[in-house]
Amino acid sequence: MEIPPHIQQIAAKATSNLLPTKSASRYEAEYHKFIQWCEENEIREFSETTLLAYFQIKSEIMKASTLWTIYSILKTTLGLKNNIDLSKFHKLTTFLKRQNDNYKPKKSEILTESQVETFLNTAPDERFLMIKTALIIAISGACRRMELTNLLTDNVTFMPHQIVVTLCNTKNKTNRTFVINNEQWLLVIRKYYELRPPNTPHQRFFLFYGNNKCSRQPVGMNTFGTMPRKIAEFLRLPNPQSYTGHSFRRSSATLLAAKGVDFLGIKRIGGWKSSTVAEGYIEQSLRDKIAIAEQLTTGSSSRSSLDNPLPSTSKCTWEPSVENLNAGDVHGPSTSTASMNVQNKNSSLAFKDVQGNFTFANCNNFTINFINNNK
């Protein structure tokens, strides 16, 4: 049965809007490059052999990550425009996977906690107040450059002891909200915001800053991309050019992981849907590796875990001076860290002279009773 022309027009209109809005031009450009290559080589059939030849040529001048990007674009555009399903080209996907062998992606350097604090405490506000504000907000919310660029004054709520920031129109098309409550950081942000000129004709939060005053010109995405490098140059870090626009977001994820935040919390703050992607943003430092080695070799904290093994998804950690644990004695100063996995339904931990902080991760269906036996 022949489809009526007006139905074909409606269907064509629907498919014309299926490309991602923000990157539609990139999709169209990459598609036309492929079509032009086919025309130059007098190719009229978009077979798997054709695609293999095309990607073989590309692999000689492009990295594996770029090849996968082109594959994703052509998979979408050829499917929409030519009804070709690239997912059925198994030789092509195998070829692309082989390109990943021995390929190590080049990642931006991160700023450590001490480096962040050093910059915020020592960099003069006359030159770096805008960068300080951007650093604080970016680190607190694992912000992308575009998210900082699109941040509006209405998205920042000032409260007596905290600032609430809402990121709208993010890459994943979901809003994210985070809170900043560090007193020194709040002073920096408020100082920068109070310099905002009256009658600014837009609501963009970040304005260019210099000579202790802000102009009405909003800060662009490329400027945010240079800020990590400027911080590295001020701190005289090696290879400052390796601190790119991704440094803020990677630094935030790494600092959160170092503080003991689990993957669910990191994914929520950064807006990641995939744990694999979130893990790729976390830089494992030598200190983290030493801590793991100490956990493997410390007998006092592992005794109870060996006697009562547990799935790795349930963990309770604390930082007290502990005595008289019925599952095994743990002695140490208040600065030490002890860990115990708890599986039994009726576990009892009794300890005295407790000082420090408790952290519970990936736990469910448990009750904590604190009893003061000194009464």
**Is the CB of residue 252 less than 8 Å from the CB of residue 270?**
yes
Q: What percent of the chain has pLDDT over 70?
A: 71
Is CATH 3.40.50.300 correct for 113-280?
Answer: no
Exposure on the CB side of residue 333, measured as CA atoms within 13 A? 1
Dig out the tokens for 164 from the structure. 């609430």
Partners of 159 in beta bridges: 162
Comparing 302 with 22, the larger pLDDT belongs to 22
Distance, CA of 138 to CA of 165 (rounded, Å): 11
Q: Could you tell me which of 244, 252, 107 has the C-alpha nearest to residue 167? A: 252
Reported as a pLDDT band with limits 50, 70 and 90, residue 257 is: confident
Q: How confident is the model at residue 57 (pLDDT cuts 50, 70, 90)?
A: very high
Quote the pLDDT of residue 13.
76
Over residues 304-343, the pLDDT tens digits come to 444 454 444 444 444 443 443 443 444 444 444 444 444 4
- What does the pLDDT read at residue 166? 94
Q: What is the pLDDT of residue 289?
A: 63
Distance CA 73, CA 88 (A): 16
